[in-house]
Every structure is written in C-alpha cells, then in structure tokens.
Chain A
Amino acid sequence: MLQTDPVFRVRDLSKTYRTGAVEVQALRGVNFQARAGEFVVILGPSGSGKSTFLNIIGGLDSATSGDVWFMDHDLTRAGDAALTRYRRDHVGFVFQFYNLVPSLTARENVRLVTEIARRPMKPEEALAMVGLSDRMDHFPAELSGGEQQRVAIARAIAKNPEVLLCDEPTGALDSHTGIKVLEALTNVNAVIGATTLVITHNAAIQDIAHRVVRFANGTIMSEEVNATRKAPAEVSW
C-alpha cells in the first residue's frame, strides 16, 4: 500500500452530549489518521463512540474539542455551509438502512447526487460497478435489501468521493447478501481509490481491511494492520 499524506488527521477529538442535566461523553481524546485509498474497518460494541466518530469526520456532527482535518479542510471550525459543501464534494455515505428516495428509481437515486457533484461519473457507470446494470430502472420497493444497499453504494461513489463512510452497511443483511455488498465496497475502493471507513460490530469483516481500529468507551483501544487481506467471499458470519 502506498505511503501517501494522510487524508484524515484527528487529534484529541472529544464529544460530549448534553441533554438537560445529563452529560454523556461519547468520545474522549481520539487520535486517528487515514491515508488515501486505505480500507479501514472500525469495530466496537454499541455505545463505544464509533458512530459518533464517523458522524464527525463525515461532517454530520460537530466536535466538542480537538481537531479534525480532511486534507486542508478544518472540519472542527467549519460552519453548516462549509460542512454541507464538504459532504457534497468529498464524502460518500452508506448507511445500514440504505436511505434511498422511494420515489426515484435506482438510476435516478444515483442521478440525484451526480446532479450536484463537481466531477461525477455516469450513473450507469456507478451502478455497473456494483453489479446492478440490469436493475437500473427499478424503484427501491422493487429491489431486495442487498440490491438497495448496492444502489446506496453506487449513489455514494458516483460523485468520485475522496472518502467513503459506511455505517453498518451489512447490518440489515444476511451473510450471503452482505458479502455481495462488501465485494462492491472493496471493488469500488480499489477502482476509484476512495479512502473507505466501514463501521461494524461484525468482527468477521475485519479480515478484508487494510487496517482494523477498535473502539471502546469513546476512545480507540487498539489498531492493527492486516498483513494479508481476505477477499469478501472468503469471510462468513
């Protein structure tokens, strides 16, 4: 793997949620870096802070303290407009529940993003990359869960993002379908070179990553680099 400049630089990141008198510290001094084209799997139990972490580096939430840099963008000091711009130009998201627009077909869901992106690929190209060339004109209600998730991936990558952030992308899928989705993710990571962060509590997935990060109690407990990566087809759960 190439040793390039970090895409993400996170230093002493903390996040505290306040609801009334109750304070919950979701992140306590997280330090993290990710390089271009890296495929990182983030593991951790519920409440370990991994989703909060992903939301902050994805520009969906703000930090309480610390620094988050995406290339030369300072995300911790960015306002809503700048964060919207950041998400729009640089970030592709994939979520557990797909979040497709039900009134648009697969192709149109992708086009929704390519219309506003700076340097998009063709919607058809993105859908081909996830193996859905023959299902492009179907509405979400006409697609299986795995297919819907692959549409979501196509939608996320169609803008040629620098980073691809996935929060439990296989969480709602069975093993067989989940593997297809992971294949789509690794394929995209290889082809467009987007730095890919995948959150999961499914430890079986860790073998397909370049690097595995473990969260617990709002901080990173451990990091390990996989000497050899497995193909998605080789894992199971």
Chain B
Amino acid sequence: MSALSPLRLKLLRDLRRLWAQALAIALVMGAGVATLVLGVGAYASLDQTRAAYYTDSRFADVFADVTRAPRTLASRIAAIDGVLAVETRIARLALTRIEGMEEPGNAMLISAPGEGAGALNQLYLRSGRLPDPQSPREAVISEGFAKAHGFEPGARFTVLMNGQSRDLLVTGVALSPEYIYALGPGDAMPDERRFGIIWMSQKALASAFDLEGAFSSVSVKLAPGASQAAVIAEIDRLLAPYGGTGAYGRKDQLSHAFLDAELQQLRGMSQVLPPIFLVVAAFLVNMTLSRLVALEREQIGLLKAIGYGPWAIAGHYVEFVLAIAVIGIAIGFGAGTWLGMELAQLYARFFHFPYLIFSRDPSVYAIAALITLGAAVAGAANAVRSVAWLPPAVAMQPPAPLRYRRFMGGLFEAAHLVGQSGVMVARHLLRWPLRTASSILGAALAVAVLVGSQWSEGSMDRMIDVVFFRTARQDATLTFAQEQRMPALYDSARLPGVLAAEPFRMVGVRISNGPISRRVALQGLPEGVTELSRVLGTDEAPMTMPEDGVILSEALAQILGVRTGDLVDITLLDGDQRSFATPVSGISLGYLGLGAYAGLPALDRMTGRPGRISGVNLALDPAQEAAFYAAVRATPMTGFLALNRLSVEKFRTTLAENVTIMTTVYTVLGAIIAIGVVYNFARIVLSEQGRELASLRVLGFTRGEVARILYAEIAVVVLIAQPLGWLIGWGFANAVLAAFSSELYRVPLIVTPWVYAKSSLVALAAAIGSAALIRGRINRLDMIEVLKTRE
C-alpha cells in the first residue's frame, strides 16, 4: 500500500466508507448501460443473423404463386433482365392428421429445393436426409413442427392432400429461410403444433395435385442492382395467362414481413427505452455525485490548506466518481451482454434461425461508457468547481449561513398547520427550489422508467380483446381449397356442431392512392351487420358492410393518405386483373395487419365473378367438436381450418414469451434505478441534515421524532414525484409504442391504473426500504460530535 499516494488511499477509503451509496449509484449506471447494450445487442445480433442466413441459404428476392404454369416458362422467367436465378416448384396447402391431436392441423407442402449450390431457399437440415426424389411418401418437415409433435426421422403421420389421405415417413428435419416466422393460414401468431412445412419430392406432389410438368410457385433471385419492380411486372405478364396472383418482393413475403415487424419492435424498444434509461441514469448520477462532493467541502479546504492545488483536488474527486462509474459500467457491460445474448437466443428459438451471430458492436459499448463517464465527471466537476478554487481558509469554513425566508408573508407558519419540525421540512425544501425540483424530477423519472417499461401490459390486453373477442368472434374459420359457390355455405352450416355460419370471400388486390400502394386481401362480408366476424369502427361500434365502396383499416387509410369519401384504385391480383376506382366508405379499427373490407354483393360486382365465397366463419357447439373435426377432414372442399380459441392462446403465450420477457427485463432495470435514486436521495438528505438532527436529539427529541423529520422530507419529494412520474412515464410509453408499431402491428396505448400503481409501489417500496436502511444511521447520530464542532 505504501506505493499509493495519500490521496489515492483517501480515495479507496472514501469508497469503502461510502460503499452502499457508491454501489447504489453504480447500479443505476449499470442499469442504464445494460439497457443500451442489451437492446442494441439483441437487435443487431438478430439482424445480422438474418442477413447471414438469407445469404447462406440463397433466400429469393421475388416470389409468385400461380394456379398451374408449364415448367417451360421457367426459362422465359430466367431470361428476364435482372434475374439471376429461378426456381419453380409446387406449393400447396393440406390438412394433417396426427395422433393425439384432435383438431386437423394445416401444412404447407412444398417440392424440396435441389441440393446444388445454385438452388434457392435452401433447406438447412437439422437431422436426417432429403426425401428420395422417387418416393411418394418421404418427407422433410420443419423443425418447429417436428418439435411440437416429437417427430424425428423415422416418424410417420398422415396428410390429406387434394382429398386423398397419405401416410408420410419423416426422413429429415430442416429449417427454411422462407419460414423463419412460420405463420399458418388464418393465424395471428405462429403455432407450430397446428402448422408445419413439409418438403416432398417434386414427383410426389406433381402426381398428387395433377401438376405434372407444371409448377404453382416460383422464386427468383435478382442480380445486384436489378429493378425489382421491372422484374415483378415482367413476371406478372408471363404468369397472367396461367392464373398468376401477382409477384411480390421480400417486403410482402409473409415470414420476412413479420420478422421485419418483430425486429422493428425490438429495435423500437432498444432505440427508445435504453437512451431514456441512460439519460435518466446520467441525470441521477450527476445530481447525486454533485451533492455527495458538496458534502466534502471541509475536507477540500483542509487539502488546500496543506498545499494541494485546485487541480490536484479536482482530479481527486474526479477519480472518485470515475471509480464508481467504472464499477457501474462494468456491471452494465456484464449484465447487458449477458441479457442481450439471452434475449437474442430467446428470439432465435422463436424465429427458427439455424445459428445465431452475436453482435458486440464496440461503438455501442463506447457510447454507453462515454455517456456514463461524462455524466459522472460533470456531476463531480460541478461540485468541485465551486469549492476547489476558494482560498483554503474560506473553504475550510462552512458555507455562509443560509438565509431562510418565510413564505406567503408568514401566513403558512401563522396557520400552525404543522409543528416547528414541519416548518423545518417545508423551509428546507423551499430554500433550494432547484435542488428540490431536481430531487422530485429524479424520483419522478424513476417512476417514469417503470411506467414506460410496462407499456405492453394494458396495450396488449386491449389488442387481444379487440382482435379476438370483439372483431373475430367466430370459433373457427374454414377456408376452402378453392373458391366455392354459395351453396357451400349451406353445406358448411350442416356440418355437425355448427351453430351458425357466415360466408366470407378473400380477394388479393393491390390498393393504391397515387404512387402509394399496398398488397392486401380484400375481405368480402355479408351486407348488414355480421354476428361472428365483425368490423369495428374507430368508435368501436360494429360497422355495417356498405352497398358500395370499401372500408379500410385506420393503418391502411393512413398509409394511403385517404379519408372516408376519397377514391382509391384497386387492381385484382388474379383473374382478369382488372382495375377500378371505388370510394372509401368507412375507416375501421384494426390492430393486426392492414385490413380492407367490402360487402359481398359489392365484391361480386368488383370482381365480375359473382356468388363465390372463400370460406365460412363458424360458431361451434363445444360438445360436438370431435364430430366437427372429423367432418372437416372428410370434406374435400376444406383448404385449412383456423381455430380462434387456439389462436388467442398462442397469441397470449407468444406475447408472454417475447414482449413480456423484454418488458420484465426493463422493469427490473427500472426498479434498480428507482431504488438507487431514492436510497441515494435519502442518504444525502441525512448527510446534509445530520448535524441539525443530532442537535434535536440533544434537545430531547426521540429517535422516532428525528427520523420523522427526515422521512417527511423524503415523503414529500417522493409523493409529489408520483403524478409527475406517471405523466412522464406515459410519454415514455407513447414513444416506445410509436417505435413498436409497424404496418403489421398497431398497438393502442393503454396504460392501466395498475401499471401506474405498480410503478408507484416500487418507488414507494424503495423509499420505505431506504428509510429503513438509514434508520440505523439516524439512531447512531453522534450527539457529542455535533456539540464539539462548528457547523
């Protein structure tokens, strides 16, 4: 130890003396740093993983579906300017029959891509092998589906393809870049139990679906710099005669689009919350350290008296706060990196990436460290500056006696509402309005980060309520393999267990206003008010389907920039691909995806193919579910079946896994900040008033009475901070939500009273805990010391 200079020794001993406060400050810093590191780290890891996986697996750029096109067309598509590679295949939906699963599941059957390096959308085999090109029964299945059912190579299950039942043998388990986010038809969240991807040989599928020498799906890889729009237009022209439904880019590819939306949410949370946390932590650290250093005034005077220069003294205190900051940053780096990896792994499992690239961007670490160090040093410098340059004799003296004032001309005191100790508290708080305000702001920010972190709680419940209980009120949605004529509705209504049936029709359209356009499914519903699948207005009242025109969801109307009464242009994606203009007859509430609705008769006129329906929404008798499922499997017209109850369950559990874990992490970090702030505030108030309080003990005030004076001051600050914290927290939540929202998810901001209450409870518990922690110090106030020394 002899190698250390006396100032360094003082530094180490000061740290040891103030270890609890130093640790609390370091934890606040650590929480700020950790949020940035984890949020940005998790997002960057997933983003880079996705990019790498897309490249490795040669994920296509343009996709198109078609009813039946000759394979010879492939060479003409390949010849389009800008096309690098083409892969044609067969892709069709089917139902599954799996032991132990009562309801029918859905599967996407795809002809397996080649194994050559040039193949597109390559599979990543987790186990087993690709199906034998000659075998009609061998299949590779998607990993999520395999895990959900415990399938390994060698397992068998049944699919109903094109009305025929076929037993399949699993030869391998694989991942595909097309199904990173494996959303089943009609579902709002991926549900691997009910939806799987099955790759079989081209030959097997061609014979099952009468597609020999033909394909139903094409993927295209573009040359660098090629115009996607031009290629899409040319593909559409080539596929139109064969029932093409419009080519689309990655932006409209289901898995990519949802993955994008999820990553945007993650980025939203990592771009909004962490900077708020970091700034809040920095502010608190600055405030706390400057008050801590201000308490060292006499020691600074002493150091000056012995001959230390102002710079040496300033350096000493800067070193002191740097030591705390370094501890905080180390905690933040450690916790942030660890949490970021855990979070990225969680998402990676949900998303089905074959591997995960951890991103540790040094710039994120550097930014977090610099902001924290800056805030700490600024806090110390601010306090040291006012003392280190005073003449030693002056510095050793206490600051000039404080001049207090009465307020409101002494009216408050005259009212005798509170005892003299109450007057002490009030005058002390009002004597330094700025400092009191910053204490209140500090406590308010602690509450605010908690409110901001829990933004999802009420919002998600509200979203689920509107989407699953007030809009989609059907128990099941049966989508036909192909459009059917109206009598199919009555056939469906006669299925066992069906209590009510309402038809719907889905037509793929491109809807545009000037240069802005979106691909959406235009949904036709019966005219008048529907009972099962309803469309709600922005006032949440059910809307009636208009005789003419379309209803657009708020999000779509906003993107297109249209209001009720404006005209939009609609182009059908299949059939004769006609275009027409139609008025917007209403705006609907919609939180999931982009919605467009029309009355069935209006849709008949728009398409020129009247009397068709795509499927039916059903109300079911729970007692007859088994009979219903059996009948659905036996009906050849069945394309796929979506079950609302299972959807909402999956939606909830998935949210619980992703958003809730994320917000829990932030909430815990927010709680650390809250506790750190309030504890430091309590300690500083005690240091500042210890002398006064000890004097009161001498005068005969009990420990309890003295503690109450201190607690009153803490309570006033913490209580005033609550409503302010709620307000700021609401703003934080709003900012997070704005970043969270995408075209696929629009989340309403609902901060429930319970969220405010929980946040305040954490802050109040922190205050009470801090009060309890400093109670021992109040009890040990040195009465004799205070009599011997000058103030």
Contact = CB atoms under 8 A, between A and B. Distances in A.
A84 B406 CA distance: 31
Interface in A50-67: 51, 55, 60-61
Contact of B787 (A80, A99, A101, A140): A99
A102 B420 contact: no
B420 A111 contact: yes
A115 B404 contact: no
Contacts of A51: 788
A40 to B, nearest CB: 19
Among all A-B residue pairs, the 10 with the closest Cβ atoms: A88-B700, A141-B401, A103-B427, A87-B700, A112-B420, A99-B695, A103-B404, A141-B403, A95-B787, A84-B702
B108 interface: no
A57 B697 CA distance: 16
Contacts of A101: 424, 692, 695-696
Interface residues of A, number: 38
A88 B424 contact: no
Contacts of A203: none
B428 A103 contact: yes
Contacts of A141: 400-404
B701 A97 contact: no
A60 B790 contact: no
A55 B789 CA distance: 15
Nearest to A60: B783
A85 B697 CA distance: 10
A116 B402 contact: no
Interface of B: 400-404, 406, 413, 419-421, 423-424, 427-428, 431, 692, 695-703, 705, 783-784, 786-791
Contacts of A172: 790
A96 B789 CA distance: 9
Interface in A67-94: 80-81, 84-85, 87-89, 91, 93
A112 B791 CA distance: 19
A84 B420 contact: no
Contacts of A113: 699-700
A89 B700 CA distance: 8
A167 interface: yes
Contacts of A140: 401
A112 B400 CA distance: 23
Given A55-B784, A139-B403, A99 B427 contact: no
Residue with the greatest number of chain A CB neighbours at <10 A, chosen from B695, B700, B784, B789? B700
B413 to A, nearest CB: 7
23 contacts: A51-B788, A60-B787, A84-B697, A84-B700, A84-B701, A88-B700, A89-B700, A93-B698, A96-B787, A97-B789, A97-B790, A101-B695, A102-B401, A103-B402, A104-B404, A104-B423, A108-B423, A112-B420, A113-B699, A115-B419, A116-B705, A139-B404, A155-B699
A102 B402 contact: yes
A81 B403 contact: no
Contacts of A103: 402, 404, 423-424, 427-428, 431
A142 interface: yes
A81 B779 CA distance: 11
B698 A60 contact: yes
A81 B783 CA distance: 14
Contacts of B790: 97, 172
Contacts of B403: 139, 141-142
A93 B698 CA distance: 8
Contacts of A97: 787, 789-791
Contact of A115 (B420, B431, B784, B786): B420
B427 A61 contact: no
A17 B203 CA distance: 98
B787 A167 contact: yes
Contacts of A159: 700
A61 B419 CA distance: 28
A171 to B, nearest CB: 11
Interface of A: 51, 55, 60-61, 80-81, 84-85, 87-89, 91, 93, 95-97, 99, 101-105, 108-109, 111-113, 115-117, 139-142, 155, 159, 167, 172
B698 A87 contact: yes
Contact of B699 (A85, A88, A104, A105): A88
Contacts, number: 90
Contacts of B783: 60
Contacts of A60: 698, 783-784, 787
B420 A108 contact: yes
B273 to A, nearest CB: 40
A159 B698 CA distance: 14
A96 B260 CA distance: 74
A104 B791 contact: no
Contact of A116 (B413, B695, B701, B789): B701
Nearest to A141: B401
A81 B699 contact: no
A85 B699 CA distance: 10
A85 B787 CA distance: 19
A88 B703 CA distance: 12
Nearest to A142: B403
Contacts of B424: 101, 103-104, 112
B141 to A, nearest CB: 75
Nearest to B400: A141
Contacts of B400: 141
Given A60-B783, A102-B401, A84 B791 contact: no
B758 to A, nearest CB: 36
A87 B696 CA distance: 11
A112 B699 contact: yes
Contacts of A81: 702
Contact of B700 (A61, A105, A116, A167): A116
A140 B398 CA distance: 15
A91 B699 CA distance: 8
A87 B789 CA distance: 21
Nearest to B425: A103
Contacts of A115: 419-420
A165 to B, nearest CB: 10
Given A88-B699, A95-B787, A99-B786, 4 more contacts: A60-B784, A96-B787, A99-B695, A101-B424
Contacts of B699: 87-88, 93, 112-113, 155
Contacts of B402: 102-103, 141
Nearest to A84: B702
Contacts of B421: 112
A105 B705 CA distance: 20
A134 B699 CA distance: 25
Contacts of B696: 101, 112
A88 B420 contact: no
Contacts of B703: 80, 84
A213 B690 CA distance: 34
Given A80-B703, A84-B702, A87-B699, A104 B786 contact: no
Contacts of B705: 116
A172 B402 CA distance: 19
Contacts of B784: 55, 60-61
Contacts of B419: 115
Contacts of B427: 103-104
Given A84-B700, A108-B423, A102 B787 contact: no
A98 B4 CA distance: 41
A64 B420 CA distance: 36
A87 B699 CA distance: 6
Nearest to A83: B700
A27 to B, nearest CB: 14
Contacts of A80: 703
Contacts of B788: 51
A60 B220 CA distance: 90
Contacts of B428: 103
A13 B705 CA distance: 31
Contacts of B431: 103
Nearest to B694: A99
Contacts of A99: 695, 698, 786-787, 791
Nearest to B698: A93
